[in-house]
Structure 1
């Protein structure tokens, strides 16, 4: 398989630069500079090596068969181009990522629909500044004050209630500390 000459970079540097975080812009700039220098160095050389005038050297070199031996070795020389063994793995990862993205989008669309329902419900309620305590209790029965069924102590925050345990206390109890 003959290697084809790459005439320009297939990297969209401007699109890539948009995704680079601000704290890594200098590293990205250095990387792009090194890449550009490498591409320029490769492009400075011809695509094919220059042809050797073997007849000229046969006339010039007095040792019989030396130039013929070199020519035979030179013509037999082939530089192997590495086989592409990574592309199938990359393609598999791309397909896997695309399926993950599609499932994430599907779940996100469901969440969006649920949030839109919640927003529609909240918009259908009275404005908070116009609600009475009874209106609030009817709209939000779980968070409303219920002094008969669930009495609480002022200021009615979870930290001030009987039996409240902080996250640290719960963790300590899980680990066996009191």
Structure 2
């Protein structure tokens, strides 16, 4: 099983790995939970089965626990459907509705997260000793490992412009 296509180069290697696996009669299963179907489509690169955590990007609202298998080939679909029915792992109708709700906005949410992440990369530095921890005496900060050259990296839901303004403030108000 290939886990999380986070490494950029690995996406390109997946096609070759799939060719080798198939030459030896093996199936290729990819855990695409971190990349999401918006950012990566392993079935197009040769994978036979792709699993997604619907709890993460697909549903997107942290209100259900579900997984999704995307499968290439009718025979695999039949085998997995049989197992799903036999084991009883199908989703309840309401959970399916929650997944559908999330799918409708998934591309937009992932796009926004990517934009926030890219904006954050450009503006992610803060200097705790001169900002959030400035009121703590220097001796206490140093005893706790908060040196003046400590850099804090912040990536999250903050507005990109706020992060840039914070960086500008940190640079202009820091030691000269």
TM-score between both structures, scaled by the size of structure 1:
0.23
Higher helix share: 1
Higher strand share: 2
TM-score between both structures, scaled by the size of structure 2:
0.23
Larger Rg computed on CA atoms: 1
- Choose between structure 1 and 2 for higher RCO, CA contacts under 8 A separated by at least 6 residues: 2
